[in-house]
Amino acid sequence: MNLTLFDLDNTLLSSDSDFEWAQFLITKGVLDREVHEAKNQDFYDAYKAGALDIHAFLEFQLAPLARHSRAELDAWHREFMAASILPRISTAARVLVDRHLQARDLCAIVTATNSFVTGPICREFCIPHLVATIPAHVDGQFTGAPRGTPSFREGKIERVEAWLESLGLWWGAFERSTFYSDSLNDLPLLARVSHPVAVDPDDTLRAHASKLGWPILSLRV
């Protein structure tokens, strides 16, 4: 059996779902444009530079979830999927995922973006497992805080290993383990699998992949 892991933002998607969700809420008037747009961009720039303070970012990103009912959030997310996500899924990304699913690999999306935002996107790809940052909730109401280790940088390895353990598996259970990612932030998990693949990589990851002979591919239209 093979293990195949997919990063989501700027890998299977041609954009960042965390960034797009905040922009969507700004456009709807749920978040104040003057206050939130610059901060959203600053956090995104820090992420791309490999300098993101994940806890400060989650405080910013999860707070709006706590101020609204789940029914209202779910309705907004359906709009978000149609307007901001589906147009950013390429045919090439769908073909790549389907190839691994047809091969009966154990497949998961592994993403730093929270599971509320990414759950429906994972289901759109028909990928059965999601390893994501978990927004804490009480009786169905989000608290605005994360639960457990954020699925970010080395935290992705911790969360993947916990997920595998929950299935009675570990890295050695697989003939081949593959991880597709675009980001320098994913270098820890890329180095952990047997077959790392750089997808439309940032400059740092491209240089690293070229030096080590990792495959580099593009899923962009």
Q: What is the mean pLDDT of residues 59-81?
A: 94
Q: What percent of the chain has pLDDT over 70?
A: 100
CA dist 192 → 19, 98, 128, 157, 209 (Å): 27, 24, 22, 8, 14
The CATH number corresponding to 2-217 among 3.40.50.300, 3.40.50.1000, 3.30.565.10, 3.10.20.740 equals 3.40.50.1000
- pLDDT tens digit sequence for 72-101: 999 999 999 999 999 999 999 999 999 999
- pLDDT tens digit sequence for 125-163: 999 999 999 999 998 899 999 999 999 999 999 999 999
Return the CA Rg of the chain: 17
Taking the C-alpha atoms of residue 44 and residue 132, their distance in angstroms, rounded to an integer, is 18
Taking the C-alpha atoms of residue 61 and residue 36, their distance in angstroms, rounded to an integer, is 10
- CB-CB contact of 46 with 52 (8 Å): yes
Q: The tokens of 39 are what?
A: 């901060």
Catalytic residues: 7, 9
CA dist 185 → 84, 125, 156 (Å): 23, 23, 10
Please check the confidence at residue 221 and state whether its pLDDT lies above 90. no
* pTM metric for this prediction: 0.95
At residue 140, the pLDDT reads: 83
Tell me the DSSP string of 84-121.
Answer: IIGGGB-HHHHHHHHHHHHTT-EEEEEEEEEHHHHHHH
- pLDDT tens digit sequence for 4-43: 999 999 999 999 999 999 999 999 999 988 888 888 899 9
Q: The tokens of 117 are what?
A: 């935002």
- CB-CB contact of 132 with 114 (8 Å): yes
Q: What is the mean pLDDT of residues 159-168?
A: 98
Domain limits, the chain: 2-217
Angle 17-28/33-48 helices, nearest 10 degrees?
170
